[in-house]
Amino acid sequence: MTELNDKQIKTRWIDVKKQIRARQLLAYRVGISLDDWDKYMYSVPSAAEINRIYDAIQQDRKNKTLRIKEALSRIVGYRESKEFSRKSGVSDTVIRDIIEGKKDMAGYDVINRLELFINAVIPDFELSIENPLTIKTYTQEYIGAIASSIDKVADNIKQYCYRLTELARKMEKDKDWKGNDIEPSSNLDHNIKRLSELKDQIDTYWEMYIDRRK
């Protein structure tokens, strides 16, 4: 393995600290004492210590990815990667690669989401102790993003109203880049389709994470 220079070591340490800040108990998982972590927050440890922690984190990610892979194989009725994706918020490509063993070390963001998803389907599958996600926090994040998307569609519809009124005043149609007529309702069709997609996302999420808890 090629030895890293000082700049690369410092960059690696910045990445390591970022991951530990996002999963605070990860420090204990990779063998950093509280006293050492207090020092490491304001200084750069030795290259050997940085590499040790980095390697430990890599191994932790591999262990968790393997655990997820094994759990996914137990979920009868959720075999298709696109279905996994729709319910977990993780891309179907990543999920397929994990299931097929092509990806043996997922990022913690993927691990967090998939652990939460599997726990919703298999209650005896416990979240990693350092996983920062909860149903409540993930619901606020996920539904918040959908709410923002709905707000954008609402803005588009508002703009469409102005444009439709203008077309009616001129008694004409818009043109596409080829000079062909665009049907007056085409923009509305697009927004209706988008709202339908967002509705499906909301219903799927609620069924998956909220209703199952009742």
pLDDT in tens, 68-102: 999 998 886 556 677 788 888 899 889 989 988 99
117: pLDDT strictly greater than 80: yes
CA distances to 3, 37, 84, 120 from 57, rounded to whole Å, are 19, 15, 26, 26
Contact in structure between 105 and 84 (CB atoms under 8 Å): no
pTM of the model: 0.82
Band (3; pLDDT cuts 50, 70, 90): confident
Residues 6+ apart with CB under 8 A from 20: 26, 27, 30, 32, 37
Instruction: Give the tokens for residue 148.
Output: 């923002």
Task: Identify which of 118, 107, 111 has the alpha carbon closest to the alpha carbon of residue 84.
Answer: 118
Mean pLDDT (the chain, rounded): 89
Rounded to 10°, the helix 6-22/47-72 angle is 50
pLDDT at 144: 95
Q: How far apart are CA 166 and CA 170, in angstroms?
A: 6
Q: Return d(Cα 48, Cα 6) in angstroms, integer.
A: 12
Q: What is the mean pLDDT of residues 45-68?
A: 94
- Classified as helix, coil or strand, 133 is coil
Give Cα separations from 179 to 6, 175, 193 (angstroms). 59, 5, 25
* CA pair distance 76, 99, nearest whole angstrom: 14
Confidence class of residue 155 from pLDDT cuts 50, 70 and 90? Answer: very high
